[in-house]
Amino acid sequence: MEMEELTPHIEELKRVLGDKVDEEQIIEDLNRYINEYHTGISSAKRGILRKYGAGDVTSFATAASVVKKISELNGNEQNVDIIAKVVFVDVKNITVKGLSKTIVSGILGDETGTASFTIWEPGALTLDRGSVYAFKNCYCRLWNEKVQINLGNRGRVEASNLSIQVPERTIDVSSVAEVKIANIKEGMGSVTVTGKIISTEQRSVVVKGEPKTVYAGVIADDTGKIQFSAWSDHGLKEGETICVKNGYIRSWKSIPQLNIGDRSEVSRVDAVFDAVGGGATFRTIDEITRIGGGLDIKVQGMIVDVRAGSGLIKRCPQCNRSILNGTCATHGVVEGINDLRMKIVVDDGTGAIGAVINRADTEKITGVNMSAAEGLASVQGEGVVARELTAKVLMKRIALTGNVISDNFGPSMVVHSAELVKEDVASEAAKLLEEVEGSL
Ligand SMILES: [Zn+2]
């Protein structure tokens, strides 16, 4: 790539990194990614931002606010614009750190649903019930599993002349949209799903002192699979195909789950598709970032970083959590047990994802086993182990399968299986040539 083509990207990086890094260093880094590692320009930029600790790998994407409908909110938004009707509004006086303060709160609604809101610095602002406004630079939080919209001192409210119909709160079962499992996202609310039962289980839980049974399992269609749970026994059996009308989507660590509640209808249907079954579902990292998380997902990309906390670590013998300096946060001073792991960042050209690889897969893909690692550490120190592992895998292609969860740091995968992907350039080229010649 020529210098001229790189200029806008260098300017963009300079803007994000500020005076932390000088231009020469940025150019050198970009050159290394593009000409030595042969990554795309967006992977290169994400790598450079990570290298200089410019926080979140999605910095570019989150610089500007996004516009969302209320049903699309998941409670993690940092900067979001919402156009909505004021369904209810109230001015309250509260006491914060001994000081009296006026806030405006109430309920906002749009075509997709309703949510409560709070304006923390209203000044002279007044809102009219029934009027539509654009609420800009909001942030959202989850409270009791419900999304709350907040406007802090960066927030703005502008009158809007849009007309919005807020639906009645009663849900008509027949109108709830049928969705494919791969398209299920956090905060979707009510859905209708048709799929095949892959597994079932019963769990005992205690709710408000009362023992209860949860009827749970995994259901799949031809696009993906999802965990379901119900408080009542619908007699669901492995292998049968069911339609759940008016199920409800809730998320645990941003992995969506299908809840079958009192207002859901369950019916048996004839199977009309092949469920994805036992195999993992292939996704791009961009798709994962949009969906938030999921079970049994497969990604493939390049290892662009091996993070701190990789290599030889010690775990508490009682709770199995990793410990520092021989001390467990819960169990105090303990005799730690050695373990090997890698915390890697994988970039597939559409985005980046963090992944934690356990001992067995770390040994398999690096060829460094536990006793070799212990040997290295005893001679040259533990830091050498991480450097050795890094040297074996950095800038190699890898295929990962596991469960993806999301938090404030973005999506990360708990890996169930990992495999390096051989880049067989010669045979790829031969195959391509064959295809080209075959089409002549
Ligand atoms: Zn412990």
- Please write the tens of the pLDDT for every residue from 184-194: 877 677 888 98
Distance CA 79, CA 138 (A): 5
Is the pLDDT at 391 greater than 80? The verdict is yes
- Give the mean pLDDT of 245-270: 83
Per-residue confidence (pLDDT) for residue 367, from 0 to 100 = 94
Banded model confidence at residue 271, pLDDT cuts 50, 70, 90 = low
**Are the beta carbons of 80 and 67 closer than 8 angstroms?**
yes
Per-residue confidence (pLDDT) for residue 172, from 0 to 100 = 42
Q: Which residues of 327-355 are buried (b: 16+ CB within 10 A; e: fewer)?
A: ebeeeeebebeebbbbbbbbbbebbbbbb
Distance CA 214, CA 115 (A): 28
Name beta bridge partners: 406.
Answer: 411
Per-residue confidence (pLDDT) for residue 43, from 0 to 100 = 80
The residue with greater pLDDT, 391 or 4, is 391
Is the pLDDT at 168 greater than 80? The verdict is no
Per-residue confidence (pLDDT) for residue 393, from 0 to 100 = 93
Task: Compute the distance from residue 337 Cα to the ligand 1 centre, in Å.
Answer: 11
Distance CA 328, CA 316 (A): 6
Per-residue confidence (pLDDT) for residue 164, from 0 to 100 = 85
Task: Compute the distance from residue 336 Cα to the ligand 1 centre, in Å.
Answer: 9
Is the pLDDT at 312 greater than 70? The verdict is yes
- Give the mean pLDDT of 278-285: 80
**Rounded to whole angstroms, what are the CA distances from 56 to 2, 46, 51, 59, 267?**
28, 9, 11, 5, 44
Range from 65-69, 173-177, 239-243, 419-423 that averages highest in pLDDT: 239-243
Task: Compute the distance from residue 439 Cα to the ligand 1 centre, in Å.
Answer: 63
Task: Compute the distance from residue 314 Cα to the ligand 1 centre, in Å.
Answer: 11
Tokens of 404: 């993806």
Per-residue confidence (pLDDT) for residue 57, from 0 to 100 = 43
**Are the beta carbons of 254 and 305 closer than 8 angstroms?**
no
Is the pLDDT at 132 greater than 60? The verdict is yes
Contacts of 341 (CB under 8 A, 6+ apart): 309, 310, 311, 313, 356, 357, 358, 359, 362
Distance CA 348, CA 302 (A): 6
Rg (CA), the chain: 26
Which 8-state DSSP code applies to residue 324? Answer: B
Task: Compute the distance from residue 433 Cα to the ligand 1 centre, in Å.
Answer: 58
Distance CA 184, CA 178 (A): 10
Task: Compute the distance from residue 382 Cα to the ligand 1 centre, in Å.
Answer: 21
Per-residue confidence (pLDDT) for residue 291, from 0 to 100 = 74
Q: Which residues of 360-383 are buried (b: 16+ CB within 10 A; e: fewer)?
A: ebbbebbebeeeebeebbeeeebe
pLDDT 10s digits, 203-249: 888 877 888 888 999 898 877 888 999 988 999 998 888 999 888 88
Comparing 39-48, 111-120, 274-283, 301-310, the range with the smallest average pLDDT is 274-283
Banded model confidence at residue 270, pLDDT cuts 50, 70, 90 = confident
Task: Compute the distance from residue 330 Cα to the ligand 1 centre, in Å.
Answer: 5
Per-residue confidence (pLDDT) for residue 61, from 0 to 100 = 38
Task: Compute the distance from residue 322 Cα to the ligand 1 centre, in Å.
Answer: 8
- Give the mean pLDDT of 180-203: 84
Task: Compute the distance from residue 316 Cα to the ligand 1 centre, in Å.
Answer: 5
Distance CA 184, CA 109 (A): 22
Distance CA 135, CA 85 (A): 10
- Give the mean pLDDT of 14-26: 80
Q: Which residues of 213-236 are buried (b: 16+ CB within 10 A; e: fewer)?
A: eebbbbbbbebbbbbbbbeeebeb
Banded model confidence at residue 354, pLDDT cuts 50, 70, 90 = very high
Report the SS3 class of residue 397: strand
Comparing 173-177, 296-300, 354-358, 364-368, the range with the smallest average pLDDT is 173-177
Comparing 9-23, 150-164, 168-182, 183-197, the range with the smallest average pLDDT is 168-182
Banded model confidence at residue 171, pLDDT cuts 50, 70, 90 = very low
Dihedral over Cα of 399, 58, 133, 124: its sign = positive
Beta strands, E only, 144-293: 146-151, 156-159, 189-207, 210-220, 225-230, 241-252, 255-260, 265-268, 281-282
User: Mean pLDDT score of the chain, rounded to an integer?
Assistant: 82
Task: Compute the distance from residue 328 Cα to the ligand 1 centre, in Å.
Answer: 5
Q: Which residues of 181-195 are buried (b: 16+ CB within 10 A; e: fewer)?
A: bbebbbbbbbbbbbb
Task: Compute the distance from residue 323 Cα to the ligand 1 centre, in Å.
Answer: 8
pLDDT 10s digits, 62-104: 346 688 999 889 888 888 999 999 888 888 777 776 777 888 9
Per-residue confidence (pLDDT) for residue 432, from 0 to 100 = 60
Task: Compute the distance from residue 278 Cα to the ligand 1 centre, in Å.
Answer: 34
Task: Compute the distance from residue 318 Cα to the ligand 1 centre, in Å.
Answer: 5
Distance CA 306, CA 398 (A): 13
Dihedral over Cα of 297, 299, 305, 311: its sign = positive
- The percent of residues in the chain predicted with pLDDT above 70, rounded, is 85
Is the pLDDT at 408 greater than 70? The verdict is no
Strands 113-119 and 99-110: antiparallel
pLDDT 10s digits, 37-62: 777 787 888 888 877 776 544 434 33
Per-residue confidence (pLDDT) for residue 136, from 0 to 100 = 92
Task: Compute the distance from residue 304 Cα to the ligand 1 centre, in Å.
Answer: 32
Task: Compute the distance from residue 310 Cα to the ligand 1 centre, in Å.
Answer: 19
- Predicted TM-score (pTM) of the model is 0.49
Name beta bridge partners: 258.
Answer: 228, 249
Report the SS3 class of residue 407: strand
Q: How many CA atoms lie within 13 A of 184 on its CB side?
A: 33
Per-residue confidence (pLDDT) for residue 15, from 0 to 100 = 76
Banded model confidence at residue 169, pLDDT cuts 50, 70, 90 = very low
Task: Compute the distance from residue 338 Cα to the ligand 1 centre, in Å.
Answer: 14
Is the pLDDT at 435 greater than 70? The verdict is no
Helix (H) or strand (E) holding 6, with range, is helix 3-17
Distance CA 132, CA 365 (A): 56
Strands 225-230 and 255-260: parallel
From 30, 136, 5, select the one nearest 77 (Cα to Cα): 136
DSSP line for 79-140: SEEEEEEEEEEEEEEEEETTEEEEEEEEEEEETTEEEEEEES--TT----TT-EEEEEEEEE
Banded model confidence at residue 373, pLDDT cuts 50, 70, 90 = very high
Task: Compute the distance from residue 329 Cα to the ligand 1 centre, in Å.
Answer: 6
Task: Compute the distance from residue 334 Cα to the ligand 1 centre, in Å.
Answer: 8
The residue with greater pLDDT, 188 or 22, is 22
Distance CA 408, CA 308 (A): 18
